[in-house]
Structure 1
Amino acid sequence: MSTTDNFDPAELAKFSDLAHRWWDTESEFRPLHQINPLRLGWIDSLAPLSGKRVLDVGCGGGILADSMARKGADVLGIDLATKALKVAQLHALEACTEGVQYREVSAEALAVEQPGSFDVVTCMEMLEHVPDPSSVVKACAALVKPGGYVFFSTINRNAKAFLFAIVGAEYVLNMLPRGTHEYAKLIRPSELAAYCRAAGLNLQLTRGMEYNPLTRHYWLSADTSVNYLLATQKY
């Protein structure tokens, strides 16, 4: 995979069409706003963000990047969706968020440009949207400093994940636009762990993320059968 071609034009178009709704907490992006405190707290508990140089790969409209900057990190958010990045930049200006910048560049290209430059790298809800997730994992490993942390989150590939994350979330509860996820692109934890090991990342911790549709409550657990997060550290 080259530094420029690991993307799906249809996926970029999908999120670009919704770009103006990134910061609407009642929009299609409501789930991301709801889970962000969980993701942020988990990352900060393992790799305290204050004073760290952080890269957010696949930052979209900047929900996580913005919150990490507010924790005192120096954050660079990158994405290939132009409209989403413009929304992220506008929000940073309107919210007076210091310590966050955004660039339209792929992880692979940035890895060539700035290898070993970041204390923490995050790549959340992004791997299931690219043709070659292992290429992104390899780039994240190249971008982080030795001893630094790389965090991933994605969706498992099994019958339960299909039922909950696709049928339930997209077609029954209408939490996400239909077609947001393709089952064949989902990634089993064992597959992601293998990508990490091949890239020189040591798996530190795995957590699942669960959701109760009645209470609209999210929480972290040991159940990785649907949504899950991985914390890794560079050798």
Structure 2
Amino acid sequence: MYSRIWSCVRSISTHSTLDPRQLKPFNELSKIWWDSEGVMKPLHAMNGVRIPWIQNRLKDIGAVNRIANPQTPLAGLSILDVGCGGGIVSEPLSELGANVTGLDCNTEMLNIAKAHGLNKKLHNLRYLHSTVEEHVINNREKYDVVVASETIEHVQEQDVFIKCCVECLKPGGSMFITTNSKSRLSEFLFITLLEDILRHVPKGTHEYSMFIDVEDLKKRLQKENCVILYTSGMVYNPLKSKWKLIKNHYILHYVLHAVKLK
């Protein structure tokens, strides 16, 4: 058991998942993070798909009781939201009854998340200033669920990131990832259009070299003793401000559900 912990610790000593270049653009975004009708609208709208998707996937594998209280269907689950930002995913998961730990290394974003959560008096939600490779040292196999939504495309040393996320999971626990497809359309939309032309998000928020192909991500998770249960593409309709799941993983965006083997 300890050998695996120290394996991750040794990796941490020479590698960090934190990309310092990502701090500045996200500091700027923190000022408008909870403006659900502004330029962050697509990110907020994503919750209309990703939160029910997470909930339904957990039901499908028997991780939650199908006849649970409909107001708090995730009660009893411990969830780690890695790269939680301002808490857009952490908050609704805690409102569904889960005990949620939001993890981020950006102080500005965490301050926004804490303030917003405090207003809602969510006592089952906490935020920590940390990277996942720091967090795993004292929290190995602690969580039923690890969520990394719109995160992996912003970190360096992605293999270390994936390894440490999985290390935080209990055997049989679920890993949920949503991220950009590694496609030229995705590059055009998230970088050329949103950053360079419209300037809706700060330049440097995304780098195409850090986008990860779905098949590559599957292989990396399988290497860390995970089985892939579900993948799907996801596209956004700006006219209706709605996301929907589609079969094609390679167009714009995708979601992935993996389970750590026992």
Q: TM-score, normalised by structure 2?
A: 0.84
Q: Secondary structure at the match of 1:202?
A: strand
Aligned residue for 2:159?
134
- Matches for 1:55-70 after TM superposition, within 5 Å: 55-70=80-95
Q: Distance in 2 between matches of 1:71 and 1:208?
A: 25
Q: Distance in 2 between matches of 1:93 and 1:20?
A: 17
Q: RMSD across aligned C-alpha pairs, in angstroms?
A: 1.7
CA contact (8 A) 1:210 1:220 kept: yes
Q: Distance in 2 between matches of 1:53 and 1:121?
A: 9
Q: 1:114 aligns with which of 117, 133, 139?
A: 139
Q: Secondary structure at the match of 1:231?
A: strand
Aligned residue for 2:175?
150
* Unmatched runs of 5 consecutive residues or more in structure 2: 1-10, 59-63, 65-73
State the AA in 2 paired with 1:131.
Answer: Q
Q: Distance in 2 between matches of 1:27 and 1:177?
A: 14
Alpha-carbon offset, residue 2 of structure 1? 1.1
1:20-54 superposed Cα distances (whole Å, 9 cap, x missing partner): 32111133322211101211110011114222011
CA contact (8 A) 1:55 1:121 kept: yes
Q: Secondary structure at the match of 1:83?
A: helix
State the AA in 2 paired with 1:2.
Answer: I
State the AA in 2 paired with 1:13.
Answer: K
Q: Distance in 2 between matches of 1:32 and 1:62?
A: 11
Q: Secondary structure at the match of 2:51?
A: helix
Residue 192, structure 1, aligned to residue 202, structure 2: no
Q: Distance in 1 between matches of 2:186 and 2:158?
A: 18
Aligned residue for 2:53?
42
Q: Distance in 1 between matches of 2:97 and 2:25?
A: 32
Alpha-carbon offset, residue 61 of structure 1? 0.4
Instruction: Give the direction of change, closer, same or farther, for the CA distance of 1:17–1:176 in structure 2 (3 Å limit).
Output: closer
Q: Distance in 2 between matches of 1:39 and 1:170?
A: 24
Identity %: 32
Alpha-carbon offset, residue 174 of structure 1? 5.3
Alpha-carbon offset, residue 180 of structure 1? 2.2
Aligned residue for 1:73?
98
CA contact (8 A) 2:29 2:201 kept: no
Aligned residue for 1:234?
260
Q: TM-score, normalised by structure 1?
A: 0.93
User: Where has structure 1 moved over 4 Å in runs of 4 or more?
Assistant: 171-175
CA contact (8 A) 1:70 1:98 kept: no
